[in-house]
Amino acid sequence: MKDLKVKGIIVKTVNVGEAGKMLTILTAQGKVRALAAGVRHAKSKRLSATQPMCYGEYVLKKNKDFYHVSACECLESFYHIRESVEKLALAAYFLELTEKTAEGHHLDEAVAWLLNTLYMLANKEHDLLLLKSVYELRLMQLLGLAPNLVACNACGDSEDDTCFHFHSTSGGLVCEACECDVAGAMLLDETTLYTLRYILYSPPQKLFGFVVNDDIVHKLTKICKDFLATHLDYPLKTEAYFWNILP
Ligand SMILES: [Zn+2]
């Protein structure tokens, strides 16, 4: 069987035997699992290329049921993320969220979005909660699960931006008239609605440069948390950990 050469990001590792690791590599073509032998030895030359979050190039050999890593090179380790406990926890959440949700024809864009965001997390100082909401909303959009922020999901009304509510189960906005038919909708002020639209509809290069006050960040966080919990029916351990270690 021919060797497989892939570029991808390690989204998960599980220790195997005395010094091996089973890697899950997220690539633009799909998820690949591959066993890397002997890489947990402190002197292993393949230590950095087989760490979670490493973006690298991997040469894989098929052996019966799964692949073995025969060569690998770390192209980007996102080293600076590892210097902050909070950043590392947020990055781990991005990896798990993407690994569990991204599939099919959206994968190449999801991998690019993940790499782009990790790069920003590593090299710039951002409000971590704002970055979390931006990542979640744009990932949902790539997966075809974005909330509708254009008009009321129930009646289609798009006239008045000042009295929309956000309702996760309905899939986004509901107007004031329809809001009484749903439970748990949250009234949106104009700035929060504007910011949500900015995040979903701006070009990617504009997503890492804007700032909003803490009140808006708090509202975005709540909306995204609720929206993801409604549309992804599984808890993510890394998200719980992120909330636990925040000061
Ligand atoms: Zn309506």
State which of 76, 106, 123 marks the end of a domain: 76
**Are residue 67 and residue 159 in the same domain, yes or no?**
no
Residue 89 has pLDDT above 70, yes or no: yes
State which of 31, 49, 76 marks the end of a domain: 76
Cα 223 to averaged position of ligand 1 atoms, centre (Å):
19
Cα 233 to averaged position of ligand 1 atoms, centre (Å):
26
Q: Report the distance separating Cα 136 and Cα 98, nearest Å.
A: 9
The widest CA-to-CA distance across the chain, in whole angstroms, is: 66
Task: Give the model's confidence band at 142: pLDDT under 50 very low, under 70 low, under 90 confident, else very high.
Answer: very high
Q: What is the pLDDT of residue 229?
A: 92
Averaged confidence pLDDT in the chain: 92
**Whole-structure pTM value:** 0.93
**Are residue 108 and residue 23 in the same domain, yes or no?**
no
**Are residue 125 and residue 223 in the same domain, yes or no?**
yes
Residue 104 has pLDDT above 80, yes or no: no
CATH number at residue 63: 2.40.50.140
Q: Report the distance separating Cα 3 and Cα 1, nearest Å.
A: 7
**Are residue 121 and residue 187 in the same domain, yes or no?**
yes
Domain of 210, in residue numbers: 80-245
Residue 216 has pLDDT above 70, yes or no: yes
**Are residue 208 and residue 145 in the same domain, yes or no?**
yes
**Are residue 122 and residue 163 in the same domain, yes or no?**
yes
**Are residue 210 and residue 95 in the same domain, yes or no?**
yes
Residue 215 has pLDDT above 90, yes or no: yes
Cα 219 to averaged position of ligand 1 atoms, centre (Å):
22
Contacts for 194-200 with beta carbons within 8 Å, 24 or more apart? 195/220, 196/137, 196/147, 196/149, 196/166, 196/220, 196/223, 197/149, 199/133, 199/134, 199/137, 199/138, 200/137, 200/138, 200/141, 200/146, 200/147, 200/149
- Give the pLDDT confidence of 38-87 residue by residue, as tens digits: 999 888 888 889 999 999 999 999 987 789 999 999 999 999 999 999 99
User: Structural domain tally of the chain?
Assistant: 2
Task: Give the model's confidence band at 178: pLDDT under 50 very low, under 70 low, under 90 confident, else very high.
Answer: very high
Alpha helices, H only, the chain? 85-101, 107-123, 128-142, 176-179, 190-201, 214-231, 237-245
Q: What is the pLDDT of residue 162?
A: 79
Q: Report the distance separating Cα 221 and Cα 199, nearest Å.
A: 13
**Are residue 84 and residue 71 in the same domain, yes or no?**
no
Neighbours of 142 (CB within 10 A): 19
Residues 6+ apart with CB under 8 A from 115: 9, 55, 76
Cα 145 to averaged position of ligand 1 atoms, centre (Å):
20
**Are residue 42 and residue 154 in the same domain, yes or no?**
no
Put the strands of the sheet holding 186-187 in their side by side order.
172-174, 165-167, 186-187
Question: What mean pLDDT do residues 208-222 have?
Answer: 94
State which of 76, 109, 127 marks the end of a domain: 76
**Are residue 132 and residue 215 in the same domain, yes or no?**
yes
Q: What is the pLDDT of residue 66?
A: 82
**Are residue 64 and residue 179 in the same domain, yes or no?**
no
At residue 143, φ and ψ (nearest 5 deg) are -85, 0
Cα 151 to averaged position of ligand 1 atoms, centre (Å):
8
Q: Report the distance separating Cα 54 and Cα 77, nearest Å.
A: 5
The SS3 assignment for 101 reads helix
Question: Which range is least confidently modeled, 47-56, 98-107, 174-183, 235-244?
Answer: 98-107
**Are residue 142 and residue 235 in the same domain, yes or no?**
yes
Cα 157 to averaged position of ligand 1 atoms, centre (Å):
5
Q: What is the pLDDT of residue 137?
A: 97
At residue 119, φ and ψ (nearest 5 deg) are -60, -45
Q: What is the pLDDT of residue 233?
A: 76
Distances (CA, A) of 62 to 32, 70, 72, 93: 11, 10, 15, 30
Cα 85 to averaged position of ligand 1 atoms, centre (Å):
44
Residue 105 has pLDDT above 90, yes or no: no
Q: Report the distance separating Cα 34 and Cα 170, nearest Å.
A: 40
CATH number at residue 128: 1.20.1440.120
Task: Give the model's confidence band at 1: pLDDT under 50 very low, under 70 low, under 90 confident, else very high.
Answer: low
Strands 30-36 and 20-27, bridge-based pairing: antiparallel
